[in-house]
């Protein structure tokens, strides 16, 4: 049975004063990226991310070069990218109500942020990787940089969707990762086991 998780989309456009910087993300492009990323996860783990809401916000680029960080739902994410070359970003948030003791419930938000990429396939794989992180999947290489040595290990890492480096076109999940994703806290909120 497919697990369907609604994801709200926020397109972050940047401005400097009264001048809005060129917008690279469009709603159509962002929806296509989400659809391709969802198709990848559905093919491997039978987990879909469906579009909930879609909104656009304009953020002012701070004059300082230092990155400021914000918080959403307890997760840290870049609030105001400082490099104008980034143009814009896209933020997917996943919200759910989780029952707690008594009749009360609390809202929980998980967020992933993706910078614009011209290649739909690469950007979709990057989003699928970030959605995998929201499903509690760790990096297969534990953040280690490949060193000279067993080539088969490096090759296996690069073909895995949860590799921390450049993702292969054939990026996939192992059966153990599929089981972990489907039983993650996020998946369980939407019908997983």
User: Where are the chain's structural domains?
Assistant: 3-137
pLDDT for 75: 33
pTM score above 0.85: no
**Ranges in the chain, pLDDT < 50:** 65-87, 96-106
What number of residues does the chain have? Answer: 193
Residue 82 CB-density burial (10 A; 0-12 exposed, 13-18 middle, 19+ buried) = middle
Distance between CA 138 and CA 136 in Å, rounded? 6
Q: Strand ranges (DSSP E) for the chain?
A: 3-16, 19-20, 47-60, 68-72, 75-80, 88-99, 105-115
């Amino acid at each position: 049975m497919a697990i369907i998780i609604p994801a709200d989309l926020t397109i972050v456009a940047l401005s400097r004063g009264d001048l809005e910087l060129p917008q690279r993300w469009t709603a159509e492009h962002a929806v296509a990226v989400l659809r391709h990323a969802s198709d990848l996860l559905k093919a491997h783990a039978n987990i879909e991310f469906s579009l909930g809401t879609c909104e656009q916000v304009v953020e002012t680029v701070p004059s300082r070069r230092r990155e400021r960080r914000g918080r959403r739902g307890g997760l840290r994410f870049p609030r105001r990218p400082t490099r104008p070359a980034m143009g814009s970003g896209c933020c997917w948030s996943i919200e759910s109500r989780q029952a707690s003791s008594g009749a009360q419930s609390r809202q929980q938000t998980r967020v992933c942020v993706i910078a614009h990429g011209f290649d739909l396939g690469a950007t979709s794989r990057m989003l699928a990787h970030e959605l995998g992180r929201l499903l509690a999947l760790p990096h297969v290489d534990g953040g280690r940089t490949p060193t000279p040595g067993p080539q088969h290990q490096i090759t296996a890492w690069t073909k895995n969707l949860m590799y921390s480096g450049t993702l292969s076109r054939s990026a996939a999940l192992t059966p153990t990762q599929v089981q972990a994703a489907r039983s993650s806290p996020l998946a369980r909120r939407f019908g997983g086991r």
